[in-house]
Structure 1
Amino acid sequence: MRYSLRQNIVVEPVIAGWYGWSYLLPPQTLARFVHNRFTPIVESYLKDPQTHAAAVRQRRMHGGPWIHAHEHRDAIEAWYRDTAPWRERLGELFEAMRKLEEEILPRHHGESLDPVYQVLPPALAGRVEVFYGRDNRTPDYRFIEPLMYASEYYDESWQQVRFGPVEQDAREFALTTPMLEYTPEHLLVDVPLNSPLLDTVFRGGLTEAELAALAARFGLTGERAALFASYFEPAQAPDLEPAATPDDDVLEYAGHACVFARYQGTTFLVDPVLSYSGYPGGAENRFTFADLPERIDHLLITHNHQDHMLFETLLRIRHRVGRVLIPKSSNASLVDPGLGGILRRLGFTDVVEVDDLETLRCGSAEVVSLPFLGEHGDLRIRSKTGWLIRFGERSVLFAADSTNISPTMYAKVTELIGEVDTVFIGMESIGAAASWIYGPLYGEPLDRRTDQSRRLNGSNFPQAKEIVDALRPDEVYVYAMGLEPWMGVVMAIDYDENHPAIVDSDLLVRHVRDKGATAERLHLRRTLRL
């Protein structure tokens, strides 16, 4: 008999004790998050756990700096004490960045920056480049990222995964709570996130002996090995009469911004965030991991936010993926670390960066990278794109959270690429303040008024209307709204019928339908014609 991971078992990535996502992998951004966000959260909790317990029960506090495992103070305090050496090492890197930004660079106002290299703190010496902005007076710096990953501040021994069951669609917000073994069903395993052992877990089809050997390689013995084995079940025999063959062309909305496509045998998956199955009471007709084919030829990432580049899903499907297409990144800065480097250190080997309006042939289809504006707090972030896929004569745009803040841009794009048949567009028109994601990376905090003015918004109705009026699609689908309950693990949105995003998206759907085209705000799953 062979065994595969149960469909309701989640394997969550952990970096330095926290839920792993892309800004925690590069050591320079991890150091900022640990110092500026995580340490204050834990110290606040240890001082007053009841405040955290009260906050997480209030909807208006959802997504705030609160620990959700408030009843586990002793475990969190012990973990915090035991991991002090991690924080001390990362603190050296944080202090080096602080000194460079606050003490060294401000001394220079246009004269040569050569002397800076002689006084760089040891943590940064030989690992950064300094330069002036175009005003020739404001100094800045970038990381030589491969050297940062090769440094003592990038330590794969800080990486783990946590196994445990999923028992309902809704998932609790994970970004502000240490990832510990809070229940008897939780199992933390020390393993680098790029380890092939994880591919073995997710590929499944293991004999009893192979499963025992895998547990041993994870360092599990006794009851912990037995718990690990309990996450597996007998593998199902292949369906002798599958509902669809690899030749069937299909476009499947899988929730949030995740869309699966198959065209003339070539498979695509955009912004993978997938739900689980195998537990009672779940929403019917969900697209889950079990619905994926054995091979995903092309994986497309629109931008580097945790709800579009979810490590948890990426690790689970890594063994199926051929090539990963990502937007071109050029900054190597704190706010825009190299997306390619992150994915390669996550274990992906075939990663291709695509520049604005560059076209790639991908099997039976063509992929074009389109400009993506907004939704990034007015920071200099290059790692974002909208993906246009041409399936033969039919073109489909995955615009993600691109915001039409430059009203003429899509008109100019249309002049080059032509009209588009199907548009997927995000309309979270009132997003979080920019500091919700980027705050730990700032040199100094923004005042509240400035922070609120630079929200991570998707398009509102007037902006989205201009996009669809320029592209003249015959189908428009609003997606990427965080409506699916499983998105709660990384998002903090509570909608009602009066929420601006719901009102704006309703207006867009009505506008498109009034023009005689198809429009819908998507939720859970939708099979679309291709």
Structure 2
Amino acid sequence: MYLKLNVAIEALIDRWYAWPHLVSPATSALNVIERHLKIMESYVQNPKIHAAAVKRPEMIGGPFIDYKGERSDEIKELCDFIKDKRSNMFEFATAVNDLNKLLQENAVGFSLEPLYNEIPEILKGFVELYYDLYNNPNFRFYESLLYKSEFYHENAQSISLQMISADNDRSFVLSTPRLDDAHLIHLDLPFKNSIIDDLFSMKRKKGNYNEIKERLAIKDTQEELFRSFFTEEPPKEYQRYLGNGIRTRYFGHACVLVETNEISILVDPVISYDGYETDVPRYTINDLPEQIDYVLITHNHQDHVLLETLLQLRHCISNIVVPSSGKGNLQDPNLKLMFNNIGFHNIIELDDMETIELEGCVITGVPFLGEHSDLDIRSKLCYHVSLHNKFKVILAADSCNIQPELYQRVHQYLGDIDVLFLGMECDGAPLSWLYGPLMPEKLDNDKNLSRRLSGSNYDQGKSLIEIFKPKNVFVYAMGLEPWLEFISSIKYTDESRPIVESNKLVRDCNDNKIIAERLFGEKTIEY
């Protein structure tokens, strides 16, 4: 039988929707203590406030659980379970705060050597202390050792399976844990388990239903639902690109497939589902090649490293290219380590202006500026892809061109391009929305609101176009597609600044004979 194309997998950690900061041990502990438990305790105390909040569009993405004010007993049970089974997370988070305090009070420019004896006991052997050149103290983790320690809770990992029947099937997943439900099958599997690959390969290749059922240990009470996930009808065959040029396909948000008849490159995989009625045309997994040569990850945010899509594609990905990180800084967990520990063993780290040279293709990492709230985060790259030295595209994701001189210098090396993909979500969330749990002290509200997760505005986008002189400009990564509501809390109107700014850029391009469009749904471009 075949697995239906609209069967989704959710990677969960203690029933919360997983993303890289929940996998990496240090960031996981702080997110669980400072985010998840606080949300659950708030819900238990006053579920009606949460029920009212999630009905208001402007509150989507906030710390509110979407169970209509019901199921508070189950939320309390999950909260108590985490407090009991993950007690060392509390010790870890407390130790991190104590270490921060120790450094702020005692590291005043003299040698740090005596302070190693004062490091909280459970952190000894996991951290290195250092000063920056302004004598500000800090510490870095030996993150690879944390993954081998008791602080990496692989037994907290599980998956859920469900069928998606509409774009709005799921509420915002980052603030609502996944409780038991009649339409879900929860399975206690670590993400690295290869049975996930075997299951999702059945979306393309016929497999043995009874064998996969037994290997997943499906209970008798689950079998009727599990059986409904399968069909005897084969999917449509993938139409491999056979032309002599280049085909580029937009899959929604920041996901772009670049193909020749020799190579396939998929950027920031976030793929919608097939098999139900929709007003918005889109490409799905069935529109991907059976073997993807390179997946490129631009940066470590939830809407660009979507484990839900990546786990479904793991069996057909040859290589994943990720930006190298800052080597142990708390706010910048290492993507290669994260992927390796959840079953991806084909990871290539790339630095700024470093290249991967293939036959007929060169992939270059391009500096990614801004969008990370001015934190020292290195795991971010734009990509320049050159095919047959005649087609050149830059995928800039959410890079914010706050310093045009940087890209002028890049242009001196890479030259003009044919296509620019640029994100223009220029009213991004404030620092605390993503990085708040990692901050030892709460930032003043005016400072917090000034440091946003924003992409380029009109002026910044226009400057990039003037520098690289593309023939085509595509605004993407805007969170507009309806199937992104479960992971993106963005709600735009015609008056929203990102819409106004991107409309202005598209008009300006077209007035200057540059073909431009803000992408939505699906798009194919052939060269």
Structure-2 residue corresponding to 1:370: 366
Shift of residue 304 of structure 1? 0.5
Q: Which amino acid aligns with 1:93?
A: F
User: Structure 2: which 5+ residue stretches go unaligned?
Assistant: none
Checking the alignment, whether the CA contact within 8 Å between 1:326 and 1:339 is kept in structure 2 is yes
Checking the alignment, whether the CA contact within 8 Å between 1:180 and 1:188 is kept in structure 2 is no
Assess, with a 3 A threshold, how the Cα gap between structure 1 residues 62 and 237 changes in structure 2: closer, same or farther: closer
Assess, with a 3 A threshold, how the Cα gap between structure 1 residues 245 and 206 changes in structure 2: closer, same or farther: closer
2:82 matched to 1:86? no
Aligned match for 1:43, one of 33, 41, 44: 41
Aligned residues: 522
Shift of residue 74 of structure 1? 2.5
Aligned match for 1:512, one of 488, 509, 512: 509
SS at match of 1:164: strand
2:188 matched to 1:190? yes
Aligned counterparts, 1:385-464, within 5 A: 385-392=381-388, 393-464=390-461
Provide the rounded CA distance (Å) in 2 between the counterparts of 1:378 and 1:513.
33
2:329 matched to 1:333? yes
**Between the two proteins, what is the percent identity of the paired residues?**
38
Q: Which amino acid aligns with 1:310?
A: L
Shift of residue 385 of structure 1? 0.7
Aligned counterparts, 1:99-138, within 5 A: 99-104=98-103, 106-136=105-135, 138=136
Provide the rounded CA distance (Å) in 1 between the counterparts of 2:102 and 2:116.
14
Assess, with a 3 A threshold, how the Cα gap between structure 1 residues 354 and 206 changes in structure 2: closer, same or farther: closer
Residue range with higher mean Cα deviation, 119-128 or 514-523 = 119-128
Shift of residue 104 of structure 1? 4.9
Shift of residue 490 of structure 1? 1.6
Q: Which amino acid aligns with 2:352?
A: D
Q: Which amino acid aligns with 1:293?
A: P
Structure-2 residue corresponding to 1:320: 316
Aligned match for 2:302, one of 301, 306, 311: 306
Shift of residue 4 of structure 1? 2.2
Structure-2 residue corresponding to 1:487: 484
Provide the rounded CA distance (Å) in 2 between the counterparts of 1:369 and 1:481.
22
2:100 matched to 1:97? no
Structure-2 residue corresponding to 1:66: 64
Residue range with higher mean Cα deviation, 117-126 or 392-401 = 117-126
SS at match of 2:75: helix
Q: Which amino acid aligns with 2:122?
A: A
Structure-1 residue corresponding to 2:261: 264
Residue range with higher mean Cα deviation, 229-238 or 41-50 = 229-238
Assess, with a 3 A threshold, how the Cα gap between structure 1 residues 291 and 238 changes in structure 2: closer, same or farther: closer
Aligned match for 1:221, one of 219, 222, 246: 219
RMSD: 1.7
User: Structure 1: which 5+ residue stretches go unaligned?
Assistant: none
2:354 matched to 1:355? no
SS at match of 1:408: helix
Provide the rounded CA distance (Å) in 1 between the counterparts of 2:127 and 2:233.
50
Shift of residue 214 of structure 1? 2.9
Checking the alignment, whether the CA contact within 8 Å between 2:2 and 2:206 is kept in structure 1 is no
1:255-312 Cα distance to aligned partner (Å, 9 max, x none):
00000111132011000000001122x1353101111111000000000011111111
Provide the rounded CA distance (Å) in 2 between the counterparts of 1:201 and 1:460.
42
Assess, with a 3 A threshold, how the Cα gap between structure 1 residues 45 and 302 changes in structure 2: closer, same or farther: same
Shift of residue 243 of structure 1? 4.2
Assess, with a 3 A threshold, how the Cα gap between structure 1 residues 101 and 453 changes in structure 2: closer, same or farther: same
2:152 matched to 1:154? yes
Q: Which amino acid aligns with 1:58?
A: R
Shift of residue 245 of structure 1? 4.3
Residue range with higher mean Cα deviation, 481-490 or 115-124 = 115-124
2:462 matched to 1:465? yes
Shift of residue 477 of structure 1? 0.4
Q: Which amino acid aligns with 1:328?
A: S
Assess, with a 3 A threshold, how the Cα gap between structure 1 residues 413 and 85 changes in structure 2: closer, same or farther: same
Residue range with higher mean Cα deviation, 226-235 or 393-402 = 226-235
Shift of residue 357 of structure 1? 1.0
Provide the rounded CA distance (Å) in 2 between the counterparts of 1:254 and 1:374.
25
Shift of residue 247 of structure 1? 5.2
Checking the alignment, whether the CA contact within 8 Å between 2:15 and 2:178 is kept in structure 1 is yes
Shift of residue 105 of structure 1? 5.1
Provide the rounded CA distance (Å) in 2 between the counterparts of 1:94 and 1:376.
23
Residue range with higher mean Cα deviation, 306-315 or 196-205 = 196-205
Provide the rounded CA distance (Å) in 2 between the counterparts of 1:187 and 1:384.
35
1:27-63 Cα distance to aligned partner (Å, 9 max, x none):
1101100111111100000000000000000011111
1:433-454 Cα distance to aligned partner (Å, 9 max, x none):
1111111111111111000000
SS at match of 1:93: helix
Aligned match for 1:17, one of 15, 18, 23: 15
SS at match of 1:83: helix
SS at match of 1:161: strand
1:158-214 Cα distance to aligned partner (Å, 9 max, x none):
000111121211342100111122x31111110001110100110117878x43333
Checking the alignment, whether the CA contact within 8 Å between 2:252 and 2:271 is kept in structure 1 is yes
Shift of residue 339 of structure 1? 1.1
Shift of residue 227 of structure 1? 2.7
Provide the rounded CA distance (Å) in 1 between the counterparts of 2:59 and 2:280.
30
Provide the rounded CA distance (Å) in 2 between the counterparts of 1:260 and 1:144.
35
Q: Which amino acid aligns with 2:108?
A: H
Q: Calculate the TM-score normalised by the size of structure 2.
A: 0.96
Residue range with higher mean Cα deviation, 350-359 or 103-112 = 103-112
Structure-1 residue corresponding to 2:175: 176
Assess, with a 3 A threshold, how the Cα gap between structure 1 residues 207 and 452 changes in structure 2: closer, same or farther: closer
Shift of residue 115 of structure 1? 2.1
Checking the alignment, whether the CA contact within 8 Å between 1:296 and 1:322 is kept in structure 2 is yes
Aligned counterparts, 1:220-299, within 5 A: 220-236=218-234, 239=237, 243-246=239-242, 249-280=246-277, 282-299=278-295
